[in-house]
Amino acid sequence: MRVVTWNLWWRFGPWADRRKAILAVLRDLEPDVVGLQEVWATEEENLAEWLAGELGLHCAWEPSPVPGPWQRRIGDDTVGIGTAVLSRWPVVERAVLRLPVPGDLDDGRLALHARLAAPAHRIPFFTTHLTSASRAAGVRRDQVAALAGFVAEHRHGTAHPPVVTGDFNARPDTEEVRLLRTVPLRDAWDHAGPAEPGGTWDTANPYVSHADGEPSIRIDYVHVGPPGPGGLGSVRTVRRAGAGPVAGVWPSDHAAVVADLDDGRAATAGPGTPGW
């Protein structure tokens, strides 16, 4: 199963050209399930639904309940923002968690759960977008704690491990990311090759604002629970995508993360499949 997570940079920059580049990257990846953050929607069109239609995927979309802070940044109160899941298989259940946040930082961040009706197992899939305030590590810790409870509530009734994706706005060595190990969840990037570039907030990207000399960082993740029978859900490979221009257009200010998970049919783990 191919899993992708991607922050699409909402309606910023050359969004009309960027959406074509986003579609081109996803079409090339041929994903089974995608977690999307910063998805725009208007009365005329929803970006997630458009992508799903172009790719032949199912779509679950949840709008932010507090779009105002985003709308003020572009001067347009007609554009919504939200979180979405695209899936090769039908979404048979869904649930939404409003992440805890102080009122002065509230811009409607969510976690979205979609239970996917894959042929062999139901897949408990989650995607989220934590607060981005630079001095809000404590807020993100609270959000991860709430997310952990949300995952525990919805991971039942299937042999497939939970898959938790999203933009956490935090580096891998931070407490808020390390807290996910207590769920327990494991960072899929642990299975990347040592030479694989990991920055999803990449200083090579012209949309990324950064001080001179500031390094690229990884803030977007695919996390997976302990494998099921036969290695079900084990991480096989992981890499970035969308980390360069498409026909001269960078798709987003974030790179995507792509993880290939085991379908559980292998009796033994092959090369690059340490599993958990």
Q: Is the pLDDT of residue 118 over 90?
A: yes
- Using one digit for the tens of pLDDT, what is the confidence trace for 47-101? 999 999 999 999 999 999 999 999 999 999 999 999 999 999 999 999 999 999 9
Mean pLDDT of all residues in 131-159: 96
Question: So what's the pLDDT on residue 273?
Answer: 41
Confidence (pTM) = 0.94
- Using one digit for the tens of pLDDT, what is the confidence trace for 223-239? 999 999 999 999 999 99
d(CA 23, CA 21): 5
Give the β-pairing of 58-63 and 91-98: unpaired
Q: What is the DSSP string of 144-189?
A: HHHHHHHHHHHS-S-SSPPEEEEE-SS-TTSHHHHGGGGTT-EEGG
Question: So what's the pLDDT on residue 21?
Answer: 98
d(CA 124, CA 154): 7
H helix intervals, the chain: 15-29, 47-55, 68-74, 137-154, 175-178
- Using one digit for the tens of pLDDT, what is the confidence trace for 166-198? 999 999 999 999 999 999 999 999 999 888 999
- Using one digit for the tens of pLDDT, what is the confidence trace for 31-42? 999 999 999 999
pLDDT band at 253 (very low <50, low <70, confident <90, very high): very high
Tell me which of 20 and 212 has the higher pLDDT: 20
- Using one digit for the tens of pLDDT, what is the confidence trace for 200-210? 999 999 999 76
In the 8-state DSSP scheme, what is residue 56?
T
Question: So what's the pLDDT on residue 121?
Answer: 94
Structure tokens at 61: 């979309």
Beta bridge partners of 275: 235
Question: Do the beta carbons of residue 179 and residue 141 sit within 8 Å?
Answer: yes
d(CA 135, CA 237): 33
